[in-house]
Amino acid sequence: MNCRFFEAELTGPVSLASKNGMGDLAEVLARMVCRFDLKERAMRVVVDYDLCESNAVCMGIAPKIFEVRDDDNLYVLEEHPDESMRPKVEEAVGRCPKQAISIVED
């Protein structure tokens, strides 16, 4: 679904919803659907902690996303990073020595 098109179609001057007297409701529903749709496709960083050795390769690649702390454990700082971080997260996934990191499209 193209949310921009969907919203423009429902909020335009000649929409089926406004002809039926439901313009405001249709607009609210369109915005809710689009927000849900965008949230559904959000990237989520997943770490298999049974495999992870906390060697900090990922932290070196994407320090805004991964951090190995003094307790020698890996922490995901941003489970749902901005899409602009995808190249760095993908690099971290690919370079993880134990292949413990993955990206899930929520």
SS3 category, 86 = helix
Produce one character per residue of 62-76: b if its CB has 16 or more CB atoms within 10 Å, e if not: beebbebeeeeebeb
Beta carbons of 67 and 47 less than 8 angstroms apart: no
Sign of CA dihedral 75, 80, 81, 87: positive
Where is pLDDT greater, at 85 or 16? 85
pLDDT in tens, 22-57: 567 667 666 655 555 544 468 999 999 999 999 999
Beta carbons of 103 and 94 less than 8 angstroms apart: no
